[in-house]
């Protein structure tokens, strides 16, 4: 099990700055903005600054039901767009990925042995999808085989 996204597993974190200097945290916070004028404020901010700013903006009314899907799409894009990161994710094999933390996030991660670990679950789902694609099998062919 990988129990925290630090050290050699820092690349799994949404705070990891990708090779093109973007990060999932900033993209996620931008997408939850209800007011398009708020989006420009996120430019050139660190992941931590984006997270803090994201707490102060007006949030889209439809955010709660779509936020997991948005996060999935962003994490999937991160690994599809960066082959080195994709290889690193695949190198985690079948280990359980847990976004362990000490800051009390029990929605995206686990703190004090409690939490829903949604980010870890998304990463494992993305890893499974990337593994299938890496083997040259696409989802359309899988759908044709499944009953």
Give phi and psi for 41, each to the nearest 5.
Answer: -65, -20
CA–CA separation, 5 vs 97, rounded Å? 8
Each residue of 4-45: pLDDT tens digit?
Answer: 999 999 999 999 998 888 999 999 999 999 999 999 999 999
Helices (DSSP H) in the chain: which residue ranges? 24-31, 36-39, 47-54, 63-81, 83-90, 118-134, 139-145
**What is the value of pTM for the model shown?**
0.88
Each residue of 94-134: pLDDT tens digit?
Answer: 999 999 999 999 999 999 999 999 999 999 999 999 888 76
Q: Is the distance from CB of 12 to CB of 24 less than 8 angstroms? A: no
State the CATH architecture for 7-145. Orthogonal Bundle (1.10)
CA–CA separation, 48 vs 34, rounded Å? 20
Domain boundaries, given as residue ranges, for the chain: 7-145
């Amino acid at each position: 099990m990988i129990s925290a996204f630090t050290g050699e597993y820092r690349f799994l974190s949404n705070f990891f700055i990708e090779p093109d200097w973007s990060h999932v945290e900033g993209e996620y916070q931008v997408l939850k903005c209800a007011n398009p004028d708020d989006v420009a404020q996120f430019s050139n901010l660190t992941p931590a600054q984006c997270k803090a700013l994201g707490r102060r903006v007006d949030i889209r009314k439809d955010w709660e039901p779509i936020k997991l899907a948005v996060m999935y799409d962003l994490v999937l894009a991160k690994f599809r767009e960066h082959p080195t990161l994709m290889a690193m994710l695949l190198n985690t094999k079948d280990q359980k990925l847990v976004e362990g933390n000490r800051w009390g996030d029990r929605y995206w991660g686990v703190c004090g042995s409690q939490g829903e670990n949604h980010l870890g679950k998304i990463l494992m789902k993305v890893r499974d999808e990337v593994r299938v694609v890496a083997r040259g099998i696409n989802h359309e062919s899988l759908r044709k085989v499944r009953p």
